[in-house]
Amino acid sequence: MSKLFSSLCLRNVELANRIVISPMCQYSAVEGSPSDWHWAHLGSLALSGAGLLCIEATAVTPEGRITPGDLGLYSDANEQGLAAVLRMIRAVAPIRVAVQLAHAGRKGSSREPWNGGKLLPQSEGGWRAEAPSAVPHAPDETPPRALERADLARLRAAFASAASRAARLGVDAIELPAAHGYLLHEFLSPVSNRRADEYGGSLENRMRFPLEVFDAVRGAFPSERPVGVRISATDWVAGGIDGDEAVRIAQAFHGAGADIIHVSAGQTTPEARPVYGRMFQTPLSDRIRNEGGVPTIAVGNITEADQVNSIIAAGRADLCALARPHLADPNWTLHAAAQLGYTPQPWPVQYLTGKEQLERVLRRRESELLGTSTV
């Protein structure tokens, strides 16, 4: 059996295979609540056959949104809206569902990517972003408001409240994003954290608030369901997080109770100089998993079923997350099963005729390549 289709248990939650649909912001919510777009988008991904579907970055406060169109889980209306979407998902598919509880930090109050992604001024419906230090993400942006101690308590409570809402919604898992230049990563990275108190300076101090937030989320979510953390294992910039620090950060979260670490990279600053390529972040996952002894999710330009198999079989990660491939092909996992000849992969009964035809077409192509009789 292909490693892609082996199961994995995280606490009491069993994933049918090793494919995770990454959280992908859609910037299409209304006051934090899902719109018709989310019904169509998440409904299609629910039928994908993947082991885990992670709902996009879902802000724990209005100011924690990246754009005005971000999902949120800070109000009763948000919770009711997501509850309806989740009822739809549960009614049509057995897929496990996670939610990423997020705060954008200094990247908040931005325009949608298709509108340039620049800072949205308050005069046009934006808000003053907040961050560990009054250091803007880009030099031409308004500096964020530096968080005070009372703000830290407020945000810990907001994360815990959102985790309690997620528990009531019945999601199977939570992912906490401490990556990509958003709030918790801003505390972790010396590029964005210039604080002089116990939350800045040494790595231990920079980890303090993210770990406090993790503890608040873990304490508010049922113990039988997993909580993972996404990190940027390198900032791709001199003086930023890299190497040994990334391993120590992963180990600290794992030691605090994180069940798995989603290993990404970069997006801390426009000055970063990433090195792209096929599966380019997998070595980061490999190091954290094997040097740090921490279960990981590999992500980043993983596009083929054979790549997933090789990563899992070689012990470089426990799960593989794919984002853009699922935008191009929401049924990526079902198609991978047919390509690999893994016939036990369940399909929706309404789609079984499509499964049979796809398998026949693939067998015919294989026979033609081998020069044998067609099927």
How is residue 11 annotated by DSSP? T
Q: What's the pLDDT at 95?
A: 97
User: What mean pLDDT comes out for the span 358-368?
Assistant: 87
User: What mean pLDDT comes out for the span 54-79?
Assistant: 98
Contact (CB, 8 A) for 313 and 291: no
Share of the chain above pLDDT 70, in %: 99
pLDDT digits (tens, 9 = 90+) for 178-191: 999 999 999 999 99
Look at residue 251 and tell me whether its pLDDT is greater than 90. Answer: yes
Q: How many CB atoms lie within 10 A of CB 180?
A: 19
- Show which residues are catalytic: 182
Domain 3-344 architecture: Alpha-Beta Barrel (3.20)
Contact (CB, 8 A) for 12 and 173: no
- Kindly give the interhelix angle for 203-220 and 149-169, rounded to the nearest 10 degrees: 40
What's the chain's average pLDDT?
A: 95
Q: What's the pLDDT at 333?
A: 96
What is the spatial distance between Cα 83 and Cα 167, in angstroms, rounded to a whole number? 11
Look at residue 211 and tell me whether its pLDDT is greater than 90. Answer: yes
Share of the chain above pLDDT 90, in %: 86
264 pLDDT band, cuts 50/70/90, is very high
Q: What's the pLDDT at 1?
A: 60
Q: What's the pLDDT at 267?
A: 86
How is residue 279 annotated by DSSP? T
User: What mean pLDDT comes out for the span 125-143?
Assistant: 94
Q: What's the pLDDT at 347?
A: 93
Look at residue 373 and tell me whether its pLDDT is greater than 70. Answer: no
Q: What's the pLDDT at 270?
A: 86
Closest among 274, 316, 277 to 297, alpha carbons compared? 316
370 pLDDT band, cuts 50/70/90, is confident
User: What mean pLDDT comes out for the span 269-291?
Assistant: 89
Look at residue 58 and tell me whether its pLDDT is greater than 60. Answer: yes
Contact (CB, 8 A) for 106 and 129: yes
Look at residue 149 and tell me whether its pLDDT is greater than 80. Answer: yes
Return all residues near 123 (Cβ < 8 A) that are at least 6 apart: none
User: What mean pLDDT comes out for the span 140-158?
Assistant: 96
User: What mean pLDDT comes out for the span 226-237?
Assistant: 95
How is 315-362 classified by DSSP, letter by letter?
Answer: TS-SEEEESHHHHH-TTHHHHHHHHHT-TTS---GGGHHHHHHHHHHH
How is residue 143 annotated by DSSP? P
pLDDT digits (tens, 9 = 90+) for 20-33: 999 999 999 999 99
Q: What's the pLDDT at 18?
A: 97
Three-state DSSP state, 93: coil
* The pair of three-digit structure tokens given for residue 223, joined into one six-digit string: 């113990």
Q: Which is it for strands 19-21 and 52-59: parallel, antiparallel or unpaired? A: parallel
Q: What's the pLDDT at 306?
A: 92
pLDDT digits (tens, 9 = 90+) for 80-103: 999 999 999 999 999 999 999 999
375 pLDDT band, cuts 50/70/90, is very low
Q: Which is it for strands 19-21 and 8-10: parallel, antiparallel or unpaired? A: unpaired
* Residue 276 CA from chain centroid, whole number: 19
Q: Where are the domains of the chain?
A: 3-344, 351-375
What is the spatial distance between Cα 345 and Cα 333, in angstroms, rounded to a whole number? 9
Give, for 24, the enclosing helix (H) or strand (E). none
